[in-house]
Amino acid sequence: MDKKKVFWAIASFFIAVLSIWAVVSQNKNFSLAVFKAFVQSANKWWLVAAFLCMFGFIWFEGFALVRIARHFGYRTSAMDGTVYGGADVYFSAITPSASGGQPASAYFMIKDGIPGYAATVALLINLVMYTLALLAIGLFCIVFKFHMLSGFSVLSRVFIGIGIIVLIFLAFVFFMLLKKGGILYRICDALIKLLEKIHIVRHGEKLRNKLKSTMAEYQECSNEITGQWKFLVEIFLWNVMQRLSQLLVSFMIFMSVGEGFKKAVDVSVIQCFVAMGSNCVPIPGAMGVADYIMLDGFGQIVGSNAANMELMCRGVTFYGSVITSAVIILIGYFLRKTKQKVTIN
């Protein structure tokens, strides 16, 4: 992990602490004793289901990447996919605008023998489908649960509105990068020129020649898959499953504490609005903003008990997935190191 990632990991930790402190300190009805009793009284089986859904958020993303890689002819397993998904979730959570997730996934995909151009195409396709999946579920929630959206504060609605605009913009950008390889080539070429100017790269022409060759393979790979609509629908559905897994975490937690089916459904809708609104700021994990929107939304359902429920749901959906992903990455990294040593010997 380079110095930049270390910096953002430390920064993310402090932002997380501040976010939790803000939620706790701003709610007069919160106390650690009450929260502890609240968690202990929860139905353990529903909590297990919540953690399984949290894991599903990681697994489904990785499996979508595995399906794309297999479509290109590269052998990779669902277990490998779990590492790809874990890398994306973890590094997205600790870097601004989730910028570190895809490079981290690409690192493990390349380690598993998938060429860089194929990994790039796979990640871009998955990003498009990941974004479209959230927009599709979000549109469904807006149409059928609009009264819940209108129940948010003005600031929360602004965050959600900006988040939706950002999602639409990102889906368009990712699609253009996928279809028009020339755009990606110009971005990479500009980066090479910049590195040449600051004397980090000496042989820029060699890199450009290699880039041209790679981009030709990239475009061929992209053209091969973008016209296959049935397969793209499958990848879209895997991403829908991933998004639903995240939303169902809050559903399971509400069921675990006896809030009932209706409130559990409503909280899943709120979780969807939180997921859309969290895209409005380039803060690691959207910490602070996501907490604010979630707390605001939970107030519609459980009133004064919103802080307890927010900490439980956010604790599993975000912090739980980050910790789980970190463990998955470490295991995946050391397994690959061990395999490499055995191969060399």
| 259-272: pLDDT as tens digits | 889 999 999 999 99
Q: How far apart are CA 273 and CA 161, in angstroms?
A: 10
- Mean pLDDT, the chain, rounded, equals 82
Alpha carbon separation from 324 to 51, 68, 278, 317 (Å, rounded): 10, 24, 21, 11
pLDDT confidence of residue 249: 94
User: Predicted confidence band at 39 (pLDDT cuts at 50, 70, 90)?
Assistant: confident
Whether the Cβ atoms of residue 218 and residue 117 lie closer than 8 Å to each other: yes
- pLDDT at position 101, please? 79
**pLDDT band with cut points at 50, 70 and 90 for residue 7:** low
Q: Is 107 exposed, middle or buried (0-12, 13-18, 19+ CB in 10 A)?
A: middle
* pLDDT higher than 90, residue 57: yes
- Please state, in angstroms and rounded to a whole number, the distance separating the CA atoms of residues 178 and 218: 9
Tokens of 289: 């903003």
Q: Which residue has the higher pLDDT, 91 or 26?
A: 91
Q: How many Cβ atoms are within 10 Å of 269's Cβ, its own excluded?
A: 23
| Phi-psi domain of 78 (left: phi exceeds 0; alpha: psi -120 through 50; beta: other) | alpha
Structural domain harbouring 289: 3-344
The predicted structure's pLDDT at residue 201: 61
Percent of the chain with pLDDT over 90: 34
pLDDT of 121 > 80? The answer is: yes
Given this model, what pLDDT does residue 138 score?
93
pLDDT top residue among 140 and 202? 140
**Rounded CA separation 39/37 (Å):** 5
How high is the pLDDT of residue 87? 92
Q: Determine the average pLDDT of the residues in 107-125.
A: 88
Residue for token pair 């988040």? 163
Q: Give the whole-angstrom CA distance, residue 254 versus residue 297.
A: 14
Q: Judge if pTM exceeds 0.85.
A: no
pLDDT at residue 223 above 70? yes
Q: Which two tokens stand for residue 19?
A: 């976010």
**How many CA atoms lie less than 13 Å away from 327 in the CB half-sphere?**
7
- Give how many domains the chain has, as a whole number: 1
pLDDT band at 34 (very low <50, low <70, confident <90, very high): low
| Residue 237 clears pLDDT 60, i.e. is over it | yes
pLDDT of 171: 83
Please, which pLDDT band fits residue 289 given cuts at 50, 70 and 90?
A: confident
Over residues 8-31, the mean pLDDT reads: 59
Confidence at residue 299, expressed as pLDDT on a 0 to 100 scale = 84
**CA 335 to mean position of chain CA atoms:** 24
* pLDDT-based confidence at residue 13 (cuts at 50, 70, 90): low
Q: How confident is the model at residue 202 (pLDDT cuts 50, 70, 90)?
A: low
- Reported confidence tier of residue 208, pLDDT bands at 50, 70, 90: confident
Contacts of 101 (CB under 8 A, 6+ apart): 87, 88, 89, 90, 91, 92, 95
Using pLDDT thresholds of 50, 70 and 90, give the confidence band for residue 15.
low
